[in-house]
Amino acid sequence: MKRPSRDAREAVLGSVRSALAGGQRGSTDSIPREYSGKRHVESLPDLFRERVAEYRAEVRTTDSSEAPEAVLGALEAAAARRVVVPEGFPARWSEPVAERHDAFGDSPRLSTAALENADAVLTTCTVGIATTGTMVLDHGPGQGRRALTLLPDTHVCLVAASRIVDDVPAALAELDPTGPMTFISGPSATSDIELERVEGVHGPRNLHVVVVGDV
């Protein structure tokens, strides 16, 4: 593998240092942080649902006993047959799926072609953000590696109501920034043609969100 050049490194750092020479070096303590660390939200799940729906994602609300029904409903709405269910996804919610659909995991690792062939993927998420209608996947158990939620055209994401926070600061505080993460706010979209919004370019074109109230 190509070794980075020490010369270039020293030159860049050197000219940064000489640019800064004699200047004031700030301290992090003097950075004002007077914005709201926390927003007042009446009901986190309600705001989350409302905001996710504004991105034209399908949102369902349920409790844990009815969750499998909601998942099946979402898969049917998307006419999905082959469904990827990553390792670690709660069995109590995926069993009915396995009965009615061709469900498979990612171990042994699915080929790109197999993933391309899947109609849908079913995952949990680690945090939901109410104000922005965002789901954060840290790609831990039940969420799969990044490609799993990228290639299939439908993503069904279960969000535990207890994992919904008010806004971005609370979400980042919950996350462990040592691994890959994906923040998802609605289905993939573009406004590149005359600023007209079109859902679905490269990521999943259908996003179904199931908010499970009592978890």
The length of the chain is 215
Nearest residue (CB) to another protein, 20 versus 98: 20
- The binding track of 122-151 with respect to another protein, each residue x by CB under 8 A or -, is -------x-xxxx----x-----xxx--x-
Taking contact as CB under 8 A, which single stretch among the options 62-70, 85-93, 158-166, 168-176 is the one that binds another protein?
Answer: 168-176
H or E element, residue 91: helix 91-100
Dig out the tokens for 74 from the structure.
Answer: 């979402």
24-83 positions binding another protein, by CB under 8 A:
24-28, 30-36, 51, 55
Q: Minimal distance in Å, beta carbon 118 to another protein?
A: 14
Q: Is 12 in the site for another protein (CB under 8 A)?
A: yes
Closest CA to 134 of 184, 69, 93: 184
3-class DSSP string for 31-47? CCCCCCCCCCCCCHHHH
Kindly tell me which residue out of 83, 101, 179, 208 binds another protein, with binding defined by CB under 8 A: 179
| Secondary structure (3-state) at 20 | helix
Question: By rule CB under 8 A, what count of residues binds another protein?
Answer: 75
185-204 positions binding another protein, by CB under 8 A:
185-196, 198, 200-204
How many whole angstroms separate alpha carbon 166 and alpha carbon 154? 27
Q: Is 96 in the site for another protein (CB under 8 A)?
A: no
How many whole angstroms separate alpha carbon 208 and alpha carbon 94? 15
Q: Minimal distance in Å, beta carbon 68 to another protein?
A: 28
Q: Is 19 in the site for another protein (CB under 8 A)?
A: yes
H or E element, residue 128: strand 127-129
162 DSSP 8-state letter: G
Closest CA to 158 of 20, 45, 19: 45
ω before 204 within 30° of 0 (cis)?
A: no
Q: Minimal distance in Å, beta carbon 154 to another protein?
A: 14
Taking contact as CB under 8 A, which single stretch among the options 13-21, 60-68, 75-83, 85-93 is the one that binds another protein?
Answer: 13-21
For tokens 């006993």, what's the residue?
Answer: 65
Nearest residue (CB) to another protein, 91 versus 178: 178
Could you tell me if 71 and 158 are in contact, meaning their C-beta atoms sit under 8 angstroms apart? yes
Q: Minimal distance in Å, beta carbon 100 to another protein?
A: 28
Q: Is 208 in the site for another protein (CB under 8 A)?
A: no
Q: Minimal distance in Å, beta carbon 69 to another protein?
A: 28
